[in-house]
Amino acid sequence: MRTKTRALAVKLVGPAAIGAGMGGALALSLLLRQLDLYRMMLDGSAPDATGMVVEASLACIFAIAAGVSALVWTLSGDQA
């Protein structure tokens, strides 16, 4: 049972890493396009910290979503 769980975890690492990269790229593109989000951060007390939090949050959201979708696809493929 442990080897099956470990094999599943190894299968999920790749999609989660890809999701984190995509989320980070999206966050950087949003921050660099000078949107309202960027102006809101500049008005705050620590714009650099706020930018890092926004980027990390989006990267984590994408990583979790990619990992969950890979889990669903992997589990549904095992039953067939």
d(CA 20, CA 57): 10
pLDDT in tens, 11-46: 888 888 888 888 878 777 777 766 666 666 667 667
Q: Which residue has the tokens 């999920």?
A: 12
CB atoms within 10 A of CB 13: 11
80 has a pLDDT exceeding 50: no
1 has a pLDDT exceeding 60: no
More confident residue, 23 or 47: 23
pLDDT in tens, 57-66: 888 888 888 8
Mapping DSSP to helix (H, G, I), strand (E, B) and coil, where does residue 60 land? helix
Domain boundaries, the chain: 14-79
